[in-house]
Chains A and B, each alone.
Chain A
Amino acid sequence: DVKVTQSSRYLVKRTGEKVFLECVQDMDHENMFWYRQDPGLGLRLIYFSYDVKMKEKGDIPEGYSVSREKKERFSLILESASTNQTSMYLCASSLYGSSRGAQHFGDGTRLSIL
């Protein structure tokens, strides 16, 4: 089975801090994604990557950046955390060009910015 591991289940940070959320997958997937999930809004795509060192903006990239130095690892960076970035963050991966394209998700990180 595909395993997507997010480094923290719960995280509390302060306004203005630089925050790193890490995600690792073990199935050699090319595609990796970062979403944030807020009540009533579903999942919104922040950034995705289809190859090492490649990144594409999603629907809500403002205030975030990403890094993909290795195929299995995709990091989300909050450059200067703000309270409106308090949310659930979900990482996912999928196989490029697969017949279905199903994404496999990690357990999520509940981030609180105080």
Chain B
Amino acid sequence: AQKITQTQPGMFVQEKEAVTLDCTYDTSDQSYGLFWYKQPSSGEMIFLIYQGSYDEQNATEGRYSLNFQKARKSANLVISASQLGDSAMYFCAMREGQTGANNLFFGTGTRLTVIP
């Protein structure tokens, strides 16, 4: 079974609108971490936001927020006030267990296109 599922291969959003990118995960561990990364066309992977499984509040980093619904095992990324520079691939990832070697499992990604 896939540990991280991103069901949206591509998404379009109008500039200045908000967009939600979906991510569901599968783990039996009680302690885990969830990450979102952005990959522009240039190729580098940029860390955006982190949510720990014991964090009670949803993580926020500027225009990015993570809608964490533990019972549903979902960790959706919300980007508010989209900008043209947000056009990129977005990957959801999960670390199982306590931090240590910190191996991450990645989803297949969602390509976001922001329309002017």
Which of chain B's residues 71-116 have a Cβ closer than 8 Å to chain A? 91, 93, 95, 99-104, 106-109
Q: Count how many pairs of residues, one from A and one from B, have CB atoms less than 8 Å apart in the complex.
A: 70
B28 interface residue per 8 A CB criterion: no
| Chain B contact residue count (CB 8 A cutoff) | 26
Q: Which of A40, A100, A102 contacts B108 (CB 8 A)?
A: A40
A19 interface residue per 8 A CB criterion: no
Assess the A96–B101 pair: CB atoms within 8 A: yes
Which of chain A's residues 32-61 have a Cβ closer than 8 Å to chain B? 33, 35, 40-45, 48, 50, 56, 58
Given contacts A33-B103, A100-B99, list 18 more A-B pairs with CB under 8 A: A33-B104, A40-B108, A42-B4, A42-B109, A44-B106, A50-B100, A88-B43, A94-B102, A96-B99, A96-B100, A96-B102, A98-B99, A101-B104, A105-B44, A105-B45, A105-B46, A108-B43, A108-B44
